Amino acid sequence: MIDAITSTLSSYGWELLEKTGEHIYISFFAILLGVIAAVPAGVLLTRIPKVADRIISFVGILQTIPSLAILAFLMPFLGVGTAPAIVALFIYSVLPILRNTYTGVKEVDSKLVEAGRGMGMNNLELIRKIELPIALPVIMSGIRFATVYLIGWATLAAFIGGGGLGDLIFDGLNLYKPELIILGTVPATILALLASWGLSALEKKLTPKAYREKETA
């Protein structure tokens, strides 16, 4: 098996690099769209708690739809390729980021918020200077979970010509070559681990020092 993997790596080396780049591209843009959409939405939901649970529950229902079904649904509108893959992955990224943002901001100590209001801060300043910095660890946890999840699911982009490491995996399945499956699976796993580590490091860097010291005290 080791000889087969070595031979396959020699034959598919450049293709592996290309597919890894495609995989990163698909995953990155999907999670970026998720952050852009879900973080502001999560903050907004804390201002309208009466409908927050209903909206989060609705987004949760979308998560139960099989990914292949979503891909098939998007194909008539977006065709094949990376676009429907990115949109489908974006849909799956929303729930953990939205839920964690809502929970993190909602659990900010109300006394700190009132203190900010007493200092003359408006809503945007409260969000930017108090709520988001304190809620950041919880928000980043949701982003990290969604990123790792999406990197794994991005292999399904191969079903609709979206590229990525899934191409190698499905080629291995079709050609009965386990070494190709391994060649596609191992880099995807490594990417997920690196993303988790990198986002964890970013979380520590962005979290206010005073809050980090409070957490470790």
Instruction: Indicate if the pLDDT at residue 144 is higher than 90.
Output: yes
- CATH number, domain of 164, equals 1.10.3720.10
Evaluate whether residue 213 is within a structural domain: no
| DSSP SS3 for 172 | helix
Total count of domains within the chain: 1
Please give the residue range of the domain that contains residue 39. Answer: 2-208
Evaluate whether residue 216 is within a structural domain: no
CB burial readout 25-52, b (16+ within 10 A) else e? bbbbbbbebbbebbbebbbebbeeeeeb
Per-residue confidence band for 131, with pLDDT thresholds at 50, 70 and 90: very high
How many angstroms separate the most distant Cα atoms in the chain?
69
d(Cα 169, Cα 22) in Å, to the nearest integer?
14
Quote the mean pLDDT of the chain: 89
Evaluate whether residue 188 is within a structural domain: yes
- Reported as half-sphere exposure (CB side, CA atoms, 13 A), residue 5 has a value of 10
Instruction: Indicate if the pLDDT at residue 213 is higher than 80.
Output: no
Q: pLDDT tens-digit profile of 102-129?
A: 999 999 999 999 999 999 999 999 999 9
Q: pLDDT tens-digit profile of 68-96?
A: 888 888 888 888 899 999 999 999 999 99
Residue 71 φ/ψ, nearest 5 degrees: -60, -45
Evaluate whether residue 217 is within a structural domain: no
pLDDT value at residue 10: 73
195 contacts: CB under 8 Å, gap ≥ 6: 27, 144, 147, 148, 151
Distances (CA, A) of 168 to 11, 163, 177, 200: 12, 9, 10, 29
Evaluate whether residue 95 is within a structural domain: yes
d(Cα 63, Cα 61) in Å, to the nearest integer?
5
Number of C-beta neighbours around residue 18 at 10 A? 14
Evaluate whether residue 143 is within a structural domain: yes
Question: pTM for this one?
Answer: 0.89
Instruction: Indicate if the pLDDT at residue 9 is higher than 60.
Output: yes
34 contacts: CB under 8 Å, gap ≥ 6: 90, 93, 94, 97, 143, 146
Instruction: Indicate if the pLDDT at residue 212 is higher than 60.
Output: no
Phi-psi region of 176 (alpha: psi -120 to 50; beta: other; left: phi over 0): left
Evaluate whether residue 157 is within a structural domain: yes
What's the mean pLDDT in 156-177? 90
Distance of CA 25 to the CA centre of its chain: 12
Evaluate whether residue 214 is within a structural domain: no
